[in-house]
Homo-oligomer: A and B are copies of this chain.
């Protein structure tokens, strides 16, 4: 790990009043803590004992920032810090933590309750074992890291080296903080309203009660500079540095960017084929049929191949066979206190039936109502469209020509606005449904938002295509929707937050320069941390995937009417890579990495879209005049043929997705080998253990009365 952040002396440790941090900028050290020792952790346990500043001078790399509310009781802070520092066997997290000193502009209202969290290498390694991190083994395969055989891992060259990436360290610290549990406390000291019970995650309770304002990992300035340069800093035709992105942001982010890149390249053939259609104005439906058929097969194939591609990446990054720890309840989950039937721990329980009632009796009707409203808005749009058309017909001029586009643009803006409002409602409802797990909350939220967005974006197009059967209008609406939503998105997503952030940065810089000479262009640590704390929080890949999903819809659903859609989407994706990369590096706080093995529910969403695409395209082709000409006498013959072909295509799709294995052969073999080895090891284990123990017991001079050991 290349540490580029400043280390801080632990002088101010535990002194809860006005701590002072040395601004010893740029102390680069590669071995921040003493070498791995067999007795479990020495120094930091003692730091808790007494307030006198430690003289061990244990410098540590700050990795994660905890920000408590500025009105937090000092007892609560002292208690929290001692719990974080406490040794593992006493139920603590055994981490290093220090209060952040005041910024250069301390006279201003500034939250003093910011804490930097770090850990010894020893603790990070044992934490890596706890979270089930996979690392590359000597033989090139990926294995779960264990401290016992750390020397057999490829990049392990002693402690303090670059074995764990900073993102991994931060993830480990987050896990250790999250699993810091209350012991016998009934409430947080000094805050009697914040109830606790044995086994409750302290951090989650503080978070849900608003005492813990935020927890976020720190950026690495040097690393980030290097990454952003290789990512978007130069105009080039190379691939994204996915491994570096994973190294810095974790697997979830890297998979998103991997998918974005894959999707863009996968659309290139469609775009290339689409260009001549536009250039030569091929209104010939025969050719459109060929194009649509190609699209359908192509969509299926690229989605199937993506699974393989994603499996390869996830294997390389060690998340493919990583076992997930048992999920904690999410911070907002509430209910009557009881015992979890799986863990046996005390935690709130909420009846499943009650949640189902809320989902089916409130959320579902609400979503349907929103869909109906969206339909209503659509109808108004078509009335406006008709009105504009009649004005233009009566008195055609340049301005009435422009007027023709106005309804579409207004509609696109209204759609974006409705999406935004609905999003808040969906989040509120899903929160209210009181899901126990974050993953279940996310799935329900994704489903709600997905359905509405899909409907909002595509209902008008379906209406034009199948009710009005006006292909010219369809093409025009498609183009308008596509281009408007693209421009809006790029603006809302990257440039607006960037501009706000830039203003904030400048203000901070000015403040700093007021008090310091200009010789040092780097911000001191305290200011850097405060600057990052003020940055917007990255809310996950949800919106990015949603955008890709809708673009995929535009391309796959109506490709046979508007072949240029693929070209537009490719162009959009290229700029999207740059704007997303830019916002990740410059606009947002660093997110915690997320050890994802695939793109999750989005794979399903994309596949569902490709099924709908088959139905839509077949109908569009069936409605084309050229195809109709083949069945001059009987419309029902035409429909029957269309339906038959559609069914055949759907069947073909399912068989194809069944025939293409989801995981490439070499990785299947690797996984099978690991499975096989662990089974073999298990077989030998009990025998080996018994032999070992009995040898030890029977060894020369061994105490025959020594109690035999239970091998479990």
Q: Which residues of A contact B (CB under 8 A)?
A: 129-130, 146-149, 323, 325-326, 341-343, 352, 615, 635-636, 638-640, 643, 647, 665, 669, 672-673, 675-676, 679, 681, 683, 686, 690, 692-693, 695-697, 699-703, 706, 709-712
Chain B residues contacting A147 (CB-CB under 8 Å) are 686
Q: Do B130 and A683 touch (CB < 8 A)?
A: yes
Q: Given A325-B679, A639-B636, does the pair A669, B341 have CB atoms closer than 8 Å?
A: yes
Q: Which of B129, B672, B681, B703 contacts A700 (CB 8 A)?
A: B703
Report B-chain residues with C-beta under 8 Å of the C-beta of A709: 692, 696
The answer to whether A712 touches B149 (Cβ under 8 A) is yes
Query: How many copies of this chain?
Result: 2
Question: How far, in Å, is A230 (CB) from chain B's closest CB?
Answer: 35
Other-chain contact of A686, B146, B639, B672 (Cβ < 8 Å) = B146
Bound CA span A326–B697, Å = 35
A679 and B323 CA atoms in complex are apart in Å by: 9
Complex partner residue of A702 from B352, B686, B703, CB under 8 angstroms? B703
The one of B325, B640, B673, B700 in contact with A342, judged by C-beta atoms closer than 8 angstroms, is: B673
In the complex, which residues of chain B have a beta carbon less than 8 angstroms from the beta carbon of A700?
703
A interface majority secondary structure:
helix
CB-CB under 8 A from A695, the residues of chain B are 706
Q: A693-B696, A696-B706, A699-B706 are in contact. List 17 more A-B contacts (CB 8 A).
A: A148-B686, A148-B690, A148-B710, A149-B710, A342-B676, A343-B673, A343-B676, A352-B665, A615-B647, A635-B636, A639-B639, A681-B712, A692-B693, A692-B709, A695-B706, A699-B702, A700-B703
Closest beta carbon of chain B to A246's beta carbon, Å: 25
Partner of A341, one of B325, B673, B683, B710: B673
Question: Contacts of A352 on B, CB cut-off 8 Å?
Answer: 665
Contacts of A699 in B (CB 8 A): 702-703, 706
CB distance from A335 to the nearest CB of B (A): 16
Residues from chain B with a CB closer than 8 A to the CB of A693 are 692, 696
State A703–B673 Cα separation when bound (angstroms): 38
Q: Which residues of B contact A703 (CB under 8 A)?
A: 699-702
A2–B683 Cα distance when bound, in Å, is 29
Shortest C-beta distance, A595 to chain B (Å), equals: 15
User: What's the nearest-Cβ distance from chain B to residue A36, in Å?
Assistant: 14
Query: What are the residues of chain B within 8 A of A681 when measuring CB–CB?
Result: 712
24 A-B residue pairs with CB within 8 Å = A129-B686, A146-B686, A147-B686, A148-B710, A148-B712, A149-B710, A325-B679, A326-B675, A342-B669, A342-B672, A352-B665, A615-B647, A635-B636, A636-B636, A636-B638, A643-B643, A681-B712, A692-B709, A693-B696, A696-B696, A696-B706, A699-B702, A699-B706, A701-B703
Looking across the interface, which residue of chain B has its beta carbon closest to that of A147? B686
CB distance from A686 to the nearest CB of B (A): 5
- CB contacts (< 8 Å) of A673 on chain B: these are 341-343
Give Cα distance in the complex from A140 to B693, angstroms: 31
| Whole-angstrom distance between the Cβ of A404 and the nearest chain B Cβ | 32
C-alpha gap A323/B683 in the complex (Å): 13
Q: Considering only CB atoms, which chain B residue lies closest to A149 in the complex? A: B712
- CA–CA, A711 to B702, complex, Å? 20
In Å, the complex CA distance between A647 and B647 comes to 10
Query: How distant is the Cα of A172 from the Cα of B576 in the complex, in angstroms?
Result: 59
Instruction: Give A169 Cβ to nearest chain B Cβ, in Å.
Output: 19
* Nearest 9 interchain pairs by C-beta: A635-B636, A342-B672, A699-B703, A342-B673, A696-B696, A636-B636, A341-B669, A326-B676, A639-B639
Complex formed: what's the CA distance from A325 to B672 in Å?
A: 11
> Considering only CB atoms, which chain B residue lies closest to A675 in the complex?
B326
Instruction: Report the separation of the CA atoms of residues A635 and B710 in the bound assembly, to the nearest whole angstrom.
Output: 78
The chain B residue sitting closest to A711, CB to CB, is: B148
B residues in contact with A615, CB < 8 Å: 647
| Distance between Cα atoms of A702 and B711 in the complex (Å) | 20
CA distance A675 to B325 in the complex (A): 9
